[in-house]
Structure 1
């Protein structure tokens, strides 16, 4: 009996092993994937079984599968530039084109990311009717200083300048857009070319408040409105602008305070015309006394077509010294040299003047009637190196006396109607033993431009 039971158990064990092997082989063939067909990896154990190569395939070369070769696109050299250089190029281009940041940001994803991460690219705000766009640009500028512009002519996206209709209410609304950021203004440029009443009041009412923290970053100021008839005197930025260096004024009366204009190095001043004669001279002398650090000064007394205030009849005797002035420009827009300009130059002392430009805006063919009198009363600084004479300022008979009075002159430039610039280069001899007098040709060695014929006759 026990032997029979033992044989039965052995048969059952053998049958179970056979059944397990069958199931094992079936499952192994089912779970092998196409990518593992060469390695025959069983899911039941971790043993790697390498493929068995049939004997009749040993001498046959294996078929190699053709791979996909990567394709390389040519990369433009501009994409190899460092981000800092590319950003600097965009910023320089935005100084000439207000809409350049918008165009550049639509080129590609990389350039768009660069423009968004360059706050100085969005600092130029040329205010127009698209107020939402300018608000977005102020937001993109973040904490960067701003360059504010308000002009009668604007250049839209198309690139063609168009006239912007401005009245008192429109100007006030435009200034209201940027007035909250006055502490971040780096420059302010307001240019009106056509007359409309109360434009200065609307434009400057928002920046003449009593907040002492205004205009701390302002460096450049331009206010131009030749047709202005508002005689009010404006005090800008509560009289505080410590970083202001460059000012261009035309047609506006301002209060000249040392805390506002005491650090100027450049002044392009066109007299407002509300005063004439000695009173106008007194006004300009007061301005120059405040701006004693000027390096470049441009002056113009224009003609006004409306009544002016009563003038001061007592001549001005105060002299003003500009020790740092090296460049001076005298501009005339009338048939003759204004009395105010001639008398003013007798009161201004410029010991270090290097360049003098005499500009005639009307381009007269004949010299000014009072040209000889002007050079008789105006003593040009002996330190002068460059003299430029244009149109009505030129008289051939005055060239030799002027050159005789300038021992350090290096170059004389003459511009006459319908002719190119005529250049006379002068190489004076050493100072030792030089005596001025007699013929100027005996004292200097000349290199005369080919087009300069008869200038010294």
Structure 2
């Protein structure tokens, strides 16, 4: 047919024949273009790469972008037919089914993953997602990592999905269940009488529950090594139930409990009658009130724990009506001393910038003159109090008799508090102060026959000196340094202490703000201290900062390293270098 003679006024039969011929010509041109694209791609050096090398590159790219919500790692299947074929024939590339993908893609991923092990991470917010979730869980026999989330504003509950986990899971290694909205009516649902995986999950090692609680004494959970319980708002397990469950987890290595159990002193007046033995526990992380935390620590035996992190707050007076917070903190210090601190040689105290809580770290080694030991701390306690008396109450229970190094950061200790808390520790040889150093120098005056407004003793009547073992003093970022080092009374005090055999041997000052006294003012201190190291730092000219460069190193932070993952750090704008040589755009799964 001559298409030039066909017009819009032609008969329907003629136009239909013309349409068919035009469509055939279009398809032929598409085939020609596709063949040219294939020829174009064969000229590229990447076409020489073996399929297994390309598959390894695709897997590496997917792993680097595993937290990319747009799943742009699938772009490798849109470059050319050769790359697409390799991508579709690599089952492990499709084995991670994450919660942010379109649920319509899940069947395609299950099909393309073949028989390889699966990682399943999906939210359950409406009934349709529940059905998709159940479809994936039907493949529980090949799931290695299982994560289910119930987000804010969910219209359904996770309980029905969890109760369906009754088939054996021989390959499962990690189980994570999170109910993010702990205030919703179904939050904290207690699931009981539940045959999880029919007791068959021999490789299960990690269990994390948030906002929901499972029976912890199930046979499938006996071999776990990492247990995390967070924000159990309702139906919290009692202390006895928790301890009995821990006793069945003999291989436990990491335990994290955050608002996860309930301690009732009325039902359990003697919290130490039964203790769970955890011989392999290496990391302990507890966030609770002071009394509950103390009771739990009495109930677990973990002699080889290398890292303890405790965040304690004031108990609820409705639960503990006869509460004495100072006695509770002292009791916490006692249990730490008796069960978790073999030798305390280095202590670091700090106040968080918000000013609502304080923290301490304890080590079994001394560290150097600038910072505590770099090893993992043996103990870390964070107090949700801004009153220094509460921190001192906790310190009263700790074994400070052999303390050698003390690091204090931004804590407003006065001279009396310095002296009464640490002044009688004869083994204390090094004190590192970040912040105001003047009150500590005033504490050194105690017992020295020097007359000034801060020492009421009269000259000529010396008393017992405090800090008798002190030999090294380090000051960092001290805004009162100018007044302190120009004060002749402080220098006279150090001279008197030196005459009585307890003088300083080394004095270090660093990061002193602008306005520091000149070298002429600082030089007389060399007459009362054997080694004096000054950093006369000027913020405008940076003069003198090099003097400290060979010995300065940052102090260890008291903040725990939670390490939230930045899901956008692997977001990469990627454009393919080659033309696509397939044309199935009408299929919604063709891009996937």
- Which category of TM-score, normalised to the shorter sequence, fits these structures? 0.5 to 0.7
Which structure 2 residues correspond to residues 222-241 of structure 1 after superposition, within 5 A?
222-225=176-179, 226-227=182-183, 228-233=187-192, 234-241=194-201
Q: Could you tell me the TM-score, scaled by structure 1's length? A: 0.59
Of 283, 294, 299 in structure 2, the residue corresponding to residue 327 of structure 1 is 283
In structure 2, relative to structure 1, the CA distance for the partners of 1:243 and 1:403 (3 Å cut) is: same
Count of matched residue positions in the alignment of Structure 1 and Structure 2: 331
Equivalence for 1:102: 74
1:201 aligned to 2:159? Answer: yes
Deviation, structure 1 residue 328: 1.2
1:18-417 pair list within 5 angstroms: 82-83=53-54, 85-97=56-68, 99-127=71-99, 130-151=102-123, 166-167=125-126, 169-194=127-152, 199-207=157-165, 209=166, 211=167, 214-225=168-179, 226-227=182-183, 228-233=187-192, 234-257=194-217, 259-270=219-230, 272-275=232-235, 280-301=238-259, 312-313=267-268, 315-316=270-271, 317-332=273-288, 337-359=289-311, 370-379=328-337, 380-382=339-341, 386=377, 387-390=379-382, 392=384, 397=392, 402=398, 404=400
Residue equivalent to 1:441: 429
Q: Give me the whole-angstrom Cα distance separating, in 2, the residues matched to 1:221 and 1:256.
A: 13
Q: Distance in 1 between matches of 2:475 and 2:47?
A: 45
Contact 1:301-1:341 at 8 Å conserved across structures: no
Q: 1:413 to 1:193 in 2, by over 3 A?
A: farther
1:212-260 deviations in Å (ceiling 9; x for gaps): xx21111001112234153332442222211001111122232234631
CA, structure 1 residues 170+205, in 2 after alignment: closer, same or farther (shift >3 Å)? farther
Q: 1:359 to 1:176 in 2, by over 3 A?
A: same
Displacement of 1:280 in angstroms is 1.3
Distance 1:229 1:389, change over 3 A: closer
The structural deviation recorded for 1:196 is: 5.0
Q: Distance in 1 between matches of 2:474 and 2:56?
A: 44
Q: Structure 2-normalised TM-score? A: 0.47
| Partner Cα separation in structure 2 for residue 445 and residue 85 of structure 1 | 59
Q: Whose RCO is larger (CA < 8 A, sep 6+)?
A: 2
Classify the secondary structure of the residue corresponding to 2:286: strand
For 1:151 and 1:328, the matched residues in 2 are separated by 29
User: 1:413: how far off?
Assistant: 11
Q: Do the aligned partners of 1:270 and 1:301 also contact (CA within 8 Å) in 2? A: yes
Instruction: Tell me how far apart the structure 2 counterparts of residues 75 and 200 of structure 1 sit (CA, whole Å).
Output: 50
Deviation per CA, 1:163-216: give whole Å up to 9, x if none.
xxx24x334312222122111111111122326576133221321x3x4xx211
Give structure 1 stretches of 5+ with no counterpart.
Answer: 1-71, 153-165, 363-367, 417-435
Root mean square deviation of aligned Cα: 4.5
When Rg is computed on C-alpha atoms for both structures, the one with the higher figure is: 1
CA distance 1:85–1:148, change in 2 (3 Å)? closer
Matches within 5 A, 1:420-439: 438-439=426-427
Deviation at residue 108 of structure 1 after TM alignment = 3.7
Task: Determine if contact 1:275/1:309 at 8 Å carries over to the other structure.
Answer: no
